[in-house]
């Protein structure tokens, strides 16, 4: 029986995408993934704290945000129900209640944002039934008002304007080619270590979730530098693994694993050879199983 495929790590990739969405203001924001509300295992997917609470975030997703912003992310595999909505509101209330001192987190400095790839139609109907109002403030960004202690919004990532939100739009099982290609073009312009790490985290999940699409993109001889750099980093990790083990074989095996991974993702032997600097014969030997791959 084949081994079950590894579960995609959507949440870390989402936190990385959030970092890319807000990269213009990133120096004035503190992003805290999987923030623990208490000593018990109650965690917020992402907590965003603005250093200057009265300064507006440039990205339209951040227009609603104040000093303390509780973020919930639902992967393409997760449902979003009315209970999830109130649970997230509850997390924000708990975050306020667990402040270091009385009223350390003012209620008027809190917001809630929930992200999901597709529109939660049933939840929207239930929210309206309970007396809440829903307004589409921007494409894919729905403000929920009335009968709430603080502002809340639902972000439907596949409805967001493509030009400004590619990092979130490609976090989907059905990413679009134009979104991926534009994301890669913009990624080439991002030079800070933080941005580059976020780009890699988003790509790693997007590639696994959209195998056929990335196979098609990688067949292009002009494959984007962002993907080239991603593969180069993997190869460098393999080399370091070999060096740390003090064995030449460790490097060979590590590189072979990466080369197999590159080929499985749709990259031709010729492209692999050009990226890795190896002879085409060496690449074919690895792909044909002539080089042992352990573990």
* pLDDT per position as a tens digit, 133-150: 999 999 999 999 999 999
pLDDT digits (tens, 9 = 90+) for 30-57: 999 988 876 657 889 999 999 998 999 9
pLDDT for res 1:
43
pLDDT of 191 > 70? The answer is yes
d(CA 169, CA 187): 14
Neighbours of 278 (CB within 10 A): 17
pLDDT of 288 > 60? The answer is yes
pLDDT for res 262:
76
pLDDT for res 228:
63
d(CA 162, CA 176): 10
pLDDT of 174 > 80? The answer is yes
pLDDT for res 221:
58
List beta partners, residue 128.
none
pLDDT for res 244:
59
Q: Which residue has the higher pLDDT, 270 or 179?
A: 179
pLDDT digits (tens, 9 = 90+) for 86-120: 999 999 999 999 888 999 999 999 999 999 999 99
d(CA 116, CA 154): 8
Give the confidence band of 269 by pLDDT, cuts at 50, 70, 90: confident
Please state the φ and ψ torsions of residue 59, each to the nearest 5 degrees. -65, 135
> Which of 17, 25, 44, 154 is CA-nearest to residue 105?
44
pLDDT for res 165:
95
pLDDT for res 249:
47
List beta partners, residue 133.
145
Q: The sheet that has 141-145: what strands, in order across it?
A: 29-36, 43-50, 68-73, 110-116, 152-156, 141-145, 133-138
Token pair belonging to 56: 């507006």
d(CA 49, CA 47): 7
pLDDT of 175 > 70? The answer is yes
pLDDT digits (tens, 9 = 90+) for 210-257: 988 988 887 775 655 556 665 566 556 655 655 555 444 445 556 777
Burial class (CB within 10 angstroms; exposed 0-12, middle 13-18, buried 19+) of 221:
exposed
d(CA 269, CA 279): 10
The CATH code for residues 10-215 is 3.90.1570
Domain ranges of the chain: 10-215, 223-287
Q: Which of 9-23, 47-61, 162-176, 208-222 has the lowest mean pLDDT?
A: 208-222
d(CA 204, CA 274): 21
pLDDT for res 234:
58
d(CA 104, CA 88): 20
Average pLDDT over residues 188-216: 89
> Which of 76, 87, 6 is CA-nearest to residue 43?
87
Neighbours of 208 (CB within 10 A): 15
pLDDT for res 245:
53
Token pair belonging to 120: 């939660």
d(CA 41, CA 113): 21
């Amino acid at each position: 029986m084949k081994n079950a495929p590894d579960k995609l790590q959507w949440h870390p990739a989402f936190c990385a995408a959030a970092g890319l969405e807000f990269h213009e203001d990133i120096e004035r924001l503190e992003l805290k993934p999987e923030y623990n509300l208490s000593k018990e295992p109650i965690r917020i997917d992402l907590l965003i704290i603005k250093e200057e609470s009265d300064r507006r975030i440039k990205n339209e997703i951040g227009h609603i945000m104040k000093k303390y912003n509780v973020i919930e992310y639902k992967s393409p595999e997760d449902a979003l129900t009315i209970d999830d909505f109130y649970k997230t509101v509850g997390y924000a209330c708990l975050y306020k209640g667990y402040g270091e001192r009385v009223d350390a987190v003012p209620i008027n400095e809190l917001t809630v944002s929930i992200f999901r790839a597709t529109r939660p139609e049933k939840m929207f109907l239930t929210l309206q039934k309970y007396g809440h109002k829903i307004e589409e403030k921007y494409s894919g960004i729905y403000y929920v008002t009335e009968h709430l202690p603080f502002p809340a919004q639902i972000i439907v990532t596949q409805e967001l304007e493509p030009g400004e939100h590619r990092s979130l739009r490609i976090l989907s099982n059905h990413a679009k080619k134009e979104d991926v290609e534009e994301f890669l073009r913009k990624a080439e312009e991002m030079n800070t270590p933080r941005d580059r790490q976020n780009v890699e985290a988003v790509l790693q999940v997007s590639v696994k979730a959209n195998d056929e699409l990335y196979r098609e993109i990688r067949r292009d001889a002009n494959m984007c530098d962002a993907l080239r750099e991603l593969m180069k980093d993997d190869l460098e990790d393999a080399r370091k693994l070999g060096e740390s083990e003090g064995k030449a074989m460790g490097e060979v095996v590590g590189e072979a694993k990466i080369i197999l991974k590159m080929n499985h993702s749709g990259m031709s032997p010729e492209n692999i050879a050009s990226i890795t600097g190896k002879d085409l014969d060496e690449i074919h030997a690895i792909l044909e199983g002539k080089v042992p791959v352990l573990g």
